[in-house]
Structure 1
Amino acid sequence: MPMTPWGGPRQRTHRSGDDRRAWVVAALFARLALSAGFLSAVADRYGLWGAPGTGRVAWGNYHRYLAYVQVLAPYLPHGCVGPAGGAATAAEAVLGVTLLLGVAVRISAWASAGVLLTFALSMFLFSGPEAPLNASVFSASGLALLLALAPPGVYRLTLDRRP
């Protein structure tokens, strides 16, 4: 075994990017983390994490969430805020469930990256740069993109058997 300059055995450098097991674990973790984020946000809109103003509740009810949609999309006519908020909530709920269950993982990951990037850009433009950075929305979008680009065959514990 080769020795290091200080006398200990030299270890082979582990390159996790080449290790399929590392990708399997990372892809599963990414799916669960993204799913939890989406489903938690939906739960908050319906008051499942608590009432408005308690703890770390962002909205606490759907009415407060729609007021935030208006902040993020001030260009929308007032009558379109409800449908836009509903569409965003539906998209997050569907993506949260599909990622959790492993249904169309690659497609769900691409859609998640797009939804999260849209949220991040809206937050950046209409709430300032601190909002999406503090909420890690750009990071979550990047995670979804990495999940979408994962090598074939690394998605495990899925309902669909396709890579």
Structure 2
Amino acid sequence: MINPVGIIATAAEIIFPVFLLLGFKTELFARLSGFLLLLFALSMTFSTGIKGAFDYSVFTSAAAAFSLSLMKEKYLEIDVYLQNKNN
């Protein structure tokens, strides 16, 4: 079960940032990135101690991803273009 979970996590670590950079479904992928980073931070904390998670600023990155998911104003995103095209 370790290999499939590792493959899924690696795929998520590649796919989420690509969609965030493109600006496609930003709220969804920012929230998913926040959960992935939080899961990574908690696993780092339980396996090596909290110092490593703080040294690599994983909790800060998770908070930034959750903050991005709460932003309502959108600039230079594909979502804005698609929304304007549908209206």
TM-score (normalised: structure 1): 0.48
TM-score (normalised: structure 2): 0.86
Aligned residues: 81
The residue type paired with residue 129 of structure 1 is I
C-alpha distance after superposition, 1:87-106 (max 9, x if no partner): 11111111010000001000
Deviation, 1:84, is 1.4
> Which entry has the higher C-alpha Rg, 1 or 2?
1
Flag the structure with higher helix content.
2
Partner in structure 2 of residue 67 of structure 1: none
Within the candidate set 26, 29, 39, 1:105 is matched to: 26
The residue type paired with residue 24 of structure 2 is V
Partner in structure 1 of residue 42 of structure 2: 121
Within the candidate set 55, 78, 82, 1:159 is matched to: 78
Partner in structure 2 of residue 148 of structure 1: 69
Unaligned runs of 5+ in 2: none
Q: Contact 1:116 / 1:140 at 8 angstroms: preserved in 2?
A: yes
Deviation, 1:156, is 1.2
Task: Tell me, in whole angstroms, the C-alpha distance in 1 between the residues paired with 2:68 and 2:26.
Answer: 8
* Superposition RMSD in Å: 1.1
Deviation, 1:138, is 0.2
What secondary structure sits across from 2:79 in the alignment?
coil
Considering Cα pairs closer than 8 Å and 6+ residues apart, tell me whether 1 or 2 has the greater RCO.
Answer: 2
Query: Which ranges of 4 or more aligned residues in structure 1 deviate by more than 6 Å?
Result: none
C-alpha distance after superposition, 1:118-161 (max 9, x if no partner): 000010011111111111110000001111111x2x22111122
Unaligned runs of 5+ in 1: 1-79
